[in-house]
Amino acid sequence: MSEKRDYYEILSVSKSADKTEIKAAYRKLAIQYHPDKNPDNPEAEEKFKEASEAYDVLSNEDKRAKYDRFGHQGVRGAGGGQPGFSNVEDIFSNFGDIFGGSIFDDLFGGGGGRSQGGQRRRRDERGADLKIKMPLTLEEIATGVEKTIRVKKFVACGDCSGSGAKGGSSGYNTCPQCNGQGQVKQVSRSMFGQFVNIQPCSNCSGTGQIIKDTCNTCEGDGRVRDEEKTSVEIPAGVEEGNYLTVSGKGHAGKRGGSKGDLIVIIQEKEHKYLTRDGNNIIYKLKISVPEAAMGVRLDVPTLYGTENVDVKSGTQPGESIVLKNKGLPLLNSYRKGDQIVIIDVHIPKKLSSDEKSMLKKMKESDNFKPNNDAKGFFEKVKGAFF
């Protein structure tokens, strides 16, 4: 085509159309001009590519803004060419999941992409994801850690290279029931017209191929149960309930299908002394009454070793001392929380006779008598009314 048509005109939408309208318009044209419905029709294929190119630009906010401002010139490729697709395979690869599962699979029953010559590839039976729980100490969370774990799962059969057939991938025949398409079409007619129902082929389970001779080790499944070592890198600052996805470390798929993912769910181990509060760490420091009254210098545990703290004379129960940047790091950040040292004054339940004697002297001292303002107020009120 010598001159490109306006993308809005191609999709028959207005310039104010939202993403939903654009997607619906493209879907309609994709159904109408899809190559499976128009075999050996170059004009239909050209319209299909033209509609896909328009959708590629208008469905992308950045590309659309450039197109609205500068036209086709604004969305030229990095090499100077116009955006577009050299063939239908490019469109399949770019729009394979734009509708949450390929519209081409939905409309035409596809069990996977195309291969050269128009034949469909065997369906990729992806392996299941694998979930494990990863208990971590607060020290490990503070610094990040690499863990090597052993995981029991399905792995590709070594004897047949995961194909399920003796002789590997060469041990397959094209399914005679669906001619390798992996699907069968059933046509029914009614007073409302003709309906086409597309179902996976029951003879080959939608793969398009059947095994000539089954592998004895995996009995045609293409995988066996085994144990595998996996290294997992845990970043600093994670917390209970966070999870990491390790791509391709889940169960192997059937008959050469792609692997699932490994989902690592974080759990926090209880610490003997420290408690987590967001990214802050709480530590309760027990001191005696004399230490609270006179002050004391003590070592306290942190996630990064011990730290000296000065408890000032006259410190009251419940007061706190803040150790800056001794808490946990924020995930994906250099910032850290603090450690809060909360003072807990220990009051003994039993006293010796000498201790009682000393406390009686302290009790008689004005310095140890609390300033009970409420008591003085009560005395004034009592005098006024009585």
Tokens of 236: 């600093």
- Asked whether residue 258 falls in the same domain as residue 308, the answer is no
Say which range, 10-19, 110-119, 160-169, has the weakest mean pLDDT: 110-119
In whole angstroms, what is the distance from residue 258 CA to residue 263 CA? 16
Most confident of 24-33, 43-52, 107-116, 288-297: 288-297
Inter-residue contact 95 to 103 (CB < 8 Å): yes
At residue 76, the pLDDT reads: 66
Say which range, 55-69, 152-166, 190-204, 311-325, has the weakest mean pLDDT: 190-204
Mean pLDDT value across residues 122-151: 89
What proportion of the chain, given as a percentage, has pLDDT over 90? Answer: 40
What is the secondary structure of 260-295 as a DSSP string? --EEEEEEEPPPSS-EEETTEEEEEEEEEHHHHHH-
Between residues 209 and 284, the one the model is more confident about? 284
Q: What average pLDDT is seen over the chain?
A: 81
- Asked whether residue 98 falls in the same domain as residue 172, the answer is no
Q: Is residue 314 part of a domain?
A: yes
C-alpha closest to that of 100 among 183, 23, 32: 23
Domain that holds residue 149: 130-268
Tokens of 281: 């760490």
Say which range, 170-179, 278-287, 319-328, 337-346, has the weakest mean pLDDT: 170-179
- Asked whether residue 212 falls in the same domain as residue 342, the answer is no
In the predicted structure, residue 52 carries a pLDDT above the cut 60: yes
At residue 112, the pLDDT reads: 42
Q: Is residue 376 part of a domain?
A: no
Q: Is residue 363 part of a domain?
A: no
Q: pLDDT tens-digit profile of 259-283?
A: 999 999 999 999 999 999 999 999 9
Tokens of 140: 């490990």
Q: Is residue 350 part of a domain?
A: yes
In the predicted structure, residue 132 carries a pLDDT above the cut 80: yes
Who contacts 324 (Cβ-Cβ below 8 Å, separation ≥6)? 338
Q: Is residue 246 part of a domain?
A: yes
Mean pLDDT value across residues 15-41: 84
- CATH code assigned at 86: 1.10.287.110
For the chain, how many structural domains are there in total?
A: 3
58, 77, 108 — which closes off a domain?
108
In the predicted structure, residue 365 carries a pLDDT above the cut 70: yes
In the predicted structure, residue 380 carries a pLDDT above the cut 60: no
In whole angstroms, what is the distance from residue 18 CA to residue 11 CA? 12
In the predicted structure, residue 328 carries a pLDDT above the cut 90: yes
Q: Is residue 12 part of a domain?
A: yes
Q: Is residue 362 part of a domain?
A: no
230: confidence class by pLDDT, cuts 50, 70, 90: very high
- Asked whether residue 309 falls in the same domain as residue 236, the answer is no
- Asked whether residue 264 falls in the same domain as residue 188, the answer is yes
At residue 385, the pLDDT reads: 53
Inter-residue contact 265 to 131 (CB < 8 Å): yes
268, 285, 313 — which closes off a domain?
268
- Asked whether residue 143 falls in the same domain as residue 249, the answer is yes
245, 268, 291 — which closes off a domain?
268
- Asked whether residue 52 falls in the same domain as residue 95, the answer is yes
In the predicted structure, residue 153 carries a pLDDT above the cut 60: yes
Say which range, 126-135, 192-201, 354-363, has the weakest mean pLDDT: 192-201
In whole angstroms, what is the distance from residue 133 CA to residue 247 CA? 16
At residue 322, the pLDDT reads: 96
At residue 104, the pLDDT reads: 44
In whole angstroms, what is the distance from residue 325 CA to residue 308 CA? 15
Mean pLDDT value across residues 322-340: 93
Inter-residue contact 209 to 174 (CB < 8 Å): yes
Angle, CA of 53, 59 and 63, to the nearest 5°: 75
Between residues 227 and 382, the one the model is more confident about? 227
173: confidence class by pLDDT, cuts 50, 70, 90: confident
Residue with tokens 């001392």: 321
In whole angstroms, what is the distance from residue 172 CA to residue 35 CA? 28
What predicted TM-score, i.e. pTM, was given to this entire model?
Answer: 0.58
In the predicted structure, residue 192 carries a pLDDT above the cut 70: no
- Asked whether residue 279 falls in the same domain as residue 262, the answer is no
Inter-residue contact 71 to 83 (CB < 8 Å): no
- CATH code assigned at 263: 2.60.260.20
- Asked whether residue 257 falls in the same domain as residue 135, the answer is yes
- Asked whether residue 285 falls in the same domain as residue 262, the answer is no
124: confidence class by pLDDT, cuts 50, 70, 90: low
- Asked whether residue 46 falls in the same domain as residue 158, the answer is no
- Asked whether residue 259 falls in the same domain as residue 159, the answer is yes
> Within 13 Å of residue 86, how many CA atoms lie on the same side as its CB?
1
Tokens of 241: 């309930």
Q: Is residue 322 part of a domain?
A: yes
